[in-house]
Amino acid sequence: MDNQINLSKDMFRPVPHEDRNPEKIRRPSIKYWSDVWRRLRQNKLSMVGLTIILLMILMSIIGPLINGYSYFEQDYSKINLHPNAIHWFGTDELGRDQFTRIWFGARYSLIIGILAATIDFIIGILYGGLSGIATRKVDNIMMRIAEVIYSIPYLLIVILLSVVFSSEGSGTSLFVLILAMTLTDWVPMAILVRGQVLQLKESEYSLAAESLGATKPWILRKHIIPNTLGPILVNITLTIPRAIFAEATLSFLGLGLQAPKSSLGSLANDGLAGLAVGNGYQIIIPAIFISLIMFGFNVLGDGLRDALDPRLRK
Give the residues lining the site for other proteins (CB under 8 A): 1, 5, 7, 9-15, 17, 20-28, 144, 147-149, 151-157, 159-161, 163-164, 167-168, 241, 245, 248-249, 252-255, 265, 268, 272, 275, 280, 283, 287, 290-292, 294-295, 298-299, 314
Cα 248 to Cα 259: distance, rounded to the nearest angstrom: 14
For other proteins, the closer of residues 12 and 76 by Cβ is 12
Question: Using CA atoms, how far apart are residues 248 and 271, in angstroms rounded to an integer?
Answer: 13
Closest CA to 251 of 140, 109, 110: 109
117 vs 161 by CB, closer to other proteins: 161
**Between residues 214 and 292, which has the closer beta carbon with respect to other proteins?**
292
Cβ 147 to other proteins shortest distance, Å: 7
Least distance from other proteins to the Cβ atom of residue 235, Å: 16
Q: Which is nearer to other proteins, 210 or 302 (CB)?
A: 302
123, 116, 156: which is closest to 242 by C-alpha? 116
Task: Please state, in angstroms and rounded to a whole number, the distance separating the CA atoms of residues 205 and 312.
Answer: 20
CB of 225 to other proteins, least distance (A): 26
Residue type for position 194: R
CA distance 152 to 25: 53
Closer of 125 and 190 to other proteins (Cβ): 190
Q: Find the helix packing angle between 98-133 and 44-66, rounded to 10°.
A: 130
Give min distance, CB of 13 to other proteins, in A: 6
Looking at the Cβ atoms of 122 and 148, the one nearer to other proteins is 148
Q: Please report how close the Cβ of residue 121 comes to other proteins at its closest, in angstroms.
A: 21
To other proteins, the closest distance from the beta carbon of 219 in angstroms equals 26
Q: Which residues contact 253 (CB under 8 A, 6 or more apart)?
A: 159, 269
Quick one: 271 exposed, middle or buried, by C-beta within 10 A (0-12, 13-18, 19+)? Answer: buried
To other proteins, the closest distance from the beta carbon of 154 in angstroms equals 8
Give whichever of 88 and 295 is closer to other proteins, judged by the CB atom. 295
Rounded to whole angstroms, the Cα distance separating 137 from 79 reads 64
| Separation CA 63–CA 99 (nearest Å) | 8
